[in-house]
Amino acid sequence: MDRIRVSAATASLLELTKWDVAVKPTTLYLMVGERCSGACRYCTQGRDFLSRVRWPPFPVEDVISRIDGSAGRICIQSLYYDGVVDDIAEVVEKMDAHIPISVSMNPTSRENMLRLKKAGVERIGIGLDCCTEELFNKWKKNVPSWDEYMKGLKTAKEVFGNATAHIIIGLGESDEEAVEIMKMLFQQGIKVALFAYTPVHGGLPPDMGRYRAMQLARCLIEKGKGDFVFKDGKLHEMHADEICKDAFLTSGCPSCNRPFYNERVRGPLYNYPRKLKDNEFKKAIDEVKKYVRIHTSAP
């Protein structure tokens, strides 16, 4: 493999381009693959784009030669196609990186995961995306089954000691379904990276108050401190020992901030790629309170 795709902000950080970036990525985002065999209905992959991010290609050796300690992690995004594991392993082995490497991919065999671990991968993230099997079958096409995704996450946790599941809010799930899948994953030691479904062409993104509530729920579940009350599937009350200060930041692997992956630079920001200012944090909490009652024993 001679060329690899690089996110626009990462390309700027590595001085492959001279584009201006509003927020520097704290992870270097790369991508392998030209065409995806999957046909997920919410995916906005284009010729040089995935989601709202541009991914221009560059020579692999040029990209690798520029990697230093300026970021906390390398994340290799991968499309779904025959030979993807070969390509990932080849790139990782060439890197000989001194910073952790994550791979975002579809589920694969234990043998392939062990191969990637040997090559130098530190952890794997898998895009489960949907909160229920019914929604999975509606949205995700030409990819492995729901059961294979669940098995893949479990295997990734066993092989690497760490695993991340990507969950998208706004695909038709109820609040209760979103909270229950997050609980189930965290109980297995699997982290959750939360995304908002913000269509590039048409469609409506999730209500900001609802998304903020799901962000707070994710953070509370991770810390083992949340208690939730639902009415007809909608989150009605949330009990918390404290409000998580980092609830509204990008979630996922350590050092990942994914600047503007599912939001426009001009906002609104669903996942903050940097520490919130005091007024931004207050606004986020106010948005949660407009959607659900919060009971807390601490400010």
How many whole angstroms separate alpha carbon 52 and alpha carbon 260? Answer: 7
Average pLDDT of the chain, as a whole number: 92
**82-120 pLDDT, tens per residue?**
999 999 999 999 997 789 999 999 999 999 999 999 999
User: Which residue from 75, 112, 108 is spatially nearest to 92, judged by alpha carbons?
Assistant: 75
Tens-place pLDDT, residues 240-257: 888 888 999 999 999 999
Calculate mean pLDDT across residues 3-19.
93
Q: What is the pLDDT of residue 245?
A: 85
pLDDT band at 203 (very low <50, low <70, confident <90, very high): confident
- Sorted by where each starts, the structural domains of the chain and their CATH numbers stand as 3-296 (3.20.20.70)
Q: Do 160 and 117 touch, CB atoms closer than 8 A?
A: yes
Tokens encoding 173: 């799930």
Lowest mean pLDDT, pick from 165-179, 202-216, 271-285: 202-216
pLDDT band per the 50, 70, 90 thresholds, residue 75: very high
- Residues 207, 96: Cα–Cα separation, whole Å: 43
Is pLDDT above 80 for 10?
yes
H helices within the chain, ranges in order? Answer: 8-13, 60-65, 84-95, 110-119, 133-139, 146-160, 175-187, 208-223, 278-291
What number of other Cβ atoms are within 10 A of residue 297's Cβ?
8
